[in-house]
Amino acid sequence: MVSFRSLDIECDLPSLLAFSARAYENTAYQASERYVRWLYEEHPAARGPKDCLLAVDGKEILGCIHRMPLPGRYGEQRFTLVSLQNHIVDERLRGGAGVLLLRQAVRGEQAVFSPGVHGRLSEAYRRLGYEQIEGCWLIRPIARIKGALQLFRARLGHEILSILRSDQLARLSDRLQISIAPEATLIERLAAIMNRQASTGPGLTVEWTPDLVRWRYFSEKGPRHIFVRKGSNTCAVLSFGVRFGLEVVRLLEYEDDGDARFMMDVIAVARATGAAAMFAFALLPEFRDKLLSNGWRRRKDAPVSFLMGPLAANGLSASAGVSDFGFESLRTEVA
C-alpha cells in the first residue's frame, strides 16, 4: 500500500538517488547527493529533509517532490514561500498518487509556487483550483550550427561534459568584471537589486539576504553561476550547463541600469562559455520586455506556472531565482 512521508536523509538517500536516476537519468542533477544536501542542509532558510516528501510502498520509493522554502513578504506580512521542484512518481502510480503527493506538499503552507508544469500535470493543478500565474519562458539562440552539432552528438550517445573554463571568460575582462565567487560587497549589492526589482510589481516577494543569495548562486556545493558586472548597478547572473545534450546559459538576474549595450555584453559572456543557446524565465514584466526588445523570443512549448495557498490570489513578483531554473549547473565543473 502506498503511503506518504518525509525524507529520512540518512536512511532514504541511496533509494532516493536510485529512484531519481531511473526517473531522469544517471547524470541528472536530481540523482546527485550534492543536490539533496545543498538543498536541505546548507540552505540558510532550510526546514530540513522534511521538505522532501516521498510516496513509498514499504521501503520502496515510488514518488517524490522537493520543496525549497524562501522567506516571503507581502506588505508587512511575513511568511514562508515554498518553491516546488521535481514532482515525479513511478509510472505505476500516475494519477491519484501524484495528486495526493502534491496536496501533501501544499497543505498548511501560506504560498506555494510551482514553475514549469507540463502536460497532464497542469490539468491536475487546474482541477484542484490552483492559480495559474503569468510567466514567460524565453529563448535566444546564439550559435545555431554549434547547437545542431551538440544535439547530433547527443543522439549518437556521446556524453557532453559540463565544464566552465575560467580562461574562456578571461578575454572579456577588459570591459567586464566576471566571477564565479564575487566578494561580499557585490553579493550585498545584488541582493539589494533583486529586492528592489521585485518590489516594483504587485504580489508576493522574496526577501533576499546576502546569505541567501550566496547560497542560491555562489555556493561551491550548489549550482554554479557566473556573476557579470559592468558598472556599480549593472550586473547579471548566468548559469551554464548541459540540457538534453545542448550546452545552455540561463539568465537569472539582470540589471542594465540604462546601459543599452549590456545585453550584448551578457550574450558575449554566454558565447564565451561555448553555449549554443540562452534561456530565461520571467515573472517580472519589465525583465520580460527588456528581453523581447533585445532579440529574445517566447518559447512555443512553454510550460505553465501555478501559485497555491491562501495568499495565491495576490500573485508573485520575483526573479527566476525563486525557482529551480538552471539547476542543471549542479553538474557543471569549474576549471
Q: What is the pLDDT of residues 295-311, one digit of tens each?
A: 999 998 889 999 999 99
pLDDT on residue 95: 62
| For helices 184-199 and 210-218, angle between their N-to-C axes, nearest 10 degrees | 100
- Tell me which amino acid residue 241 is: G
Contacts of 98 (CB under 8 A, 6+ apart): 63, 87, 89, 121, 124
Beta bridge partners of 250: 239, 279
Q: What percent of the chain has pLDDT over 70?
A: 99
- Read off φ and ψ for residue 285, nearest 5 degrees: -55, -40
Among 27, 16, 2, 329, residue whose Cα is nearest residue 164: 329
Q: What is the pLDDT of residues 220-262, one digit of tens each?
A: 999 999 999 998 899 999 999 998 889 999 999 999 999 999 9
Residue 120 has pLDDT above 90, yes or no: no
Residues 49, 51: Cα–Cα separation, whole Å: 5
Contacts of 90 (CB under 8 A, 6+ apart): 19, 23, 62, 63
pLDDT on residue 253: 98
Q: How many CA atoms lie within 13 A of 51 on its CB side?
A: 25
More confident position, 272 or 122: 272
Residues 60, 49: Cα–Cα separation, whole Å: 18
Contacts of 275 (CB under 8 A, 6+ apart): 142, 143, 240, 247, 248, 249
pLDDT on residue 26: 84
Q: What is the pLDDT of residues 266-284, one digit of tens each?
A: 999 999 999 999 999 999 9
Residues 116, 126: Cα–Cα separation, whole Å: 14
Q: What three-state secondary structure class fits 195?
A: helix
Residues 114, 121: Cα–Cα separation, whole Å: 11
pLDDT on residue 141: 96
Residue 94 has pLDDT above 70, yes or no: no
Entry pTM: 0.94
Among 289, 170, 177, 290, residue whose Cα is nearest residue 232: 177
pLDDT band at 6 (very low <50, low <70, confident <90, very high): very high
Q: Are 239 and 329 in contact (CB under 8 A)?
A: yes
The three grid cell numbers given for residue 332, joined into one nine-digit string: 557543471
Q: Are 266 and 238 in contact (CB under 8 A)?
A: yes
Q: How many CA atoms lie within 13 A of 288 on its CB side?
A: 14
Residues 183, 188: Cα–Cα separation, whole Å: 9
* Average pLDDT taken over every residue of the chain: 93
pLDDT on residue 231: 85
Residues 277, 53: Cα–Cα separation, whole Å: 34
Tally: H helices and E strands in the chain: 10, 17
Residues 267, 275: Cα–Cα separation, whole Å: 10
pLDDT on residue 111: 97
Q: What three-state secondary structure class fits 197?
A: helix
| For helices 96-106 and 119-127, angle between their N-to-C axes, nearest 10 degrees | 60
Residue 154 is inside which H or E element, if any?
helix 144-155
Tell the residue number behind the cell numbers 495526493, with chain if given.
100
The three grid cell numbers given for residue 114, joined into one nine-digit string: 510551482
Q: What's the first-to-final CA gap in the chain, in angstroms? A: 48
CA 334 remoteness from chain centre: 19
